[in-house]
């Protein structure tokens, strides 16, 4: 595994590179970093060159000292692809936040991605009630107190779910460590920008121009249910849905990684133009 840094408008982004073969880019969920992919990186690296990105203000990437938008993250993703020398369309796998970036990269006449896989990526934005009850209390507690137990416990329940946390305590701690060790100003800005100010993107779905695989956790505590995933998929021209195990947006990566890898590889196979008999 090699580490690289690429220069973008939102600072230096850290990228780990593993494996050989056609490129696949992984972009993680808000709050955590590229370590949240866990064994999935190794499972995919047997077939592909895996580029696992730490998003702005996350992991070993630079903290961003201002608010920024998902649209800016899309621009940064393009800059990262250019900086990595990935001129041809790549396979993109996005968890939650990474799925939102990928969906926008998939729109247009000449998308920078060949296929899109989203895992735990809700399409709607927060309602005003959810912002008041869930969003702003989390932001203010974290801003003034830091990653105290109340904050990390609430976040762990939302991202991973209590059952997964109990079943996978070591991996849960490792994933949450990426949040507790983050730059507080940068993370506060990221949460405010990407959670509280994120808008719904249902209107973009008919414009997604690449084959898409949508994965939803069976018991997602954040409310992104399989029925919502199926409705999302009906609006995307070339889409399929898979339900995976877990109780939050990130949980499937902890408890269902082998199956996720199998589903992604099968998806790549049937969308590979070099194997038309299986398309």
Most confident range, picked from 15-24, 135-144, 163-172, 219-228: 15-24
pLDDT tens digits for 134-168? 777 888 889 899 999 888 988 888 888 888 888 88
- How many domains are there within the chain? 1
pLDDT score at 273: 62
Domain of residue 46: give its range: 2-278
Angle CA 127–117–253, to nearest 5: 80
pLDDT classification of 221: cutoffs 50, 70, 90: low
Q: In b/e form, how buried is each residue of 250-279, taking b as 16+ CB within 10 angstroms?
A: bbbbbbbbeebbebbeebbeebeeeeeeee
User: What's the whole-number mean pLDDT along residues 244-248?
Assistant: 88
What is the pTM for the complete model shown? 0.94
pLDDT classification of 278: cutoffs 50, 70, 90: very low
- The domain that holds 208 is classified in CATH as 3.40.50.1820
Whether residue 276 is predicted with pLDDT greater than 60 in this model: the reply is no
Query: In the predicted model, what is the mean pLDDT of the chain?
Result: 91
Element (H or E) spanning 117, and its range?
strand 113-119
Instruction: Determine the angle formed by the axes of helices 70-83 and 97-105, rounding to 10 degrees.
Output: 70
Which phi and psi angles does 241 have, rounded to 5°? -120, 140
pLDDT classification of 250: cutoffs 50, 70, 90: very high
Q: What are the helix (H) ranges across 19-127?
A: 40-45, 70-83, 97-105
pLDDT classification of 277: cutoffs 50, 70, 90: very low
The 10 Å Cβ neighbour count of residue 227 is: 10
Whether residue 131 is predicted with pLDDT greater than 60 in this model: the reply is yes
Whether residue 274 is predicted with pLDDT greater than 60 in this model: the reply is no
pLDDT score at 279: 34
pLDDT classification of 6: cutoffs 50, 70, 90: very high
| Closest by CA position to 249, among listed 194, 188, 210, 207 | 194
Q: What percent of the chain shows pLDDT beyond 70? A: 96
Q: What percent of the chain shows pLDDT beyond 90? A: 69
User: What's the whole-number mean pLDDT along residues 190-199?
Assistant: 87
């Amino acid at each position: 595994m090699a580490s690289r840094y690429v220069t973008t408008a939102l600072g230096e982004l850290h990228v780990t590179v593993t494996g050989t073969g056609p490129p696949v880019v992984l972009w993680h969920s808000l709050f955590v970093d590229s370590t949240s992919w866990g064994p999935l990186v190794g499972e995919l690296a047997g077939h592909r060159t895996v580029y696992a990105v730490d998003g702005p203000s996350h992991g070993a990437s630079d903290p961003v000292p201002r608010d920024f938008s998902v649209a800016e993250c899309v621009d940064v993703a393009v800059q990262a692809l250019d900086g990595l020398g990935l001129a041809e369309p790549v396979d993109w796998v996005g968890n939650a936040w990474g799925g939102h970036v990928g969906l926008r990269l998939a729109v247009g006449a000449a998308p920078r991605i060949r296929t899109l896989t989203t895992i735990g990526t809700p399409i709607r934005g927060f309602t005003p009630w959810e912002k008041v009850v869930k969003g702003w209390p989390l932001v203010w507690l974290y801003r003034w107190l830091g990653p105290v137990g109340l904050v990390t416990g609430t976040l762990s329940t939302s991202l991973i779910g209590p059952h997964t946390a109990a079943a996978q305590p070591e991996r849960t701690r490792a994933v949450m460590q990426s949040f507790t060790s983050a730059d507080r100003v940068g993370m506060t800005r990221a949460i405010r920008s990407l959670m509280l100010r994120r808008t719904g993107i249902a209107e973009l779905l008919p414009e997604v121009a690449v084959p898409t695989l949508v994965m939803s956790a069976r018991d997602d505590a954040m409310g992104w249910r399989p029925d919502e995933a199926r409705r999302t998929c009906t609006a995307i021209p070339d889409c399929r849905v898979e339900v995976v195990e877990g109780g939050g947006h990130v949980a499937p990566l902890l408890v269902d990684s082998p199956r996720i890898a199998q589903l992604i590889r099968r998806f790549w196979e049937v969308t590979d133009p070099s194997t038309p008999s299986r398309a």
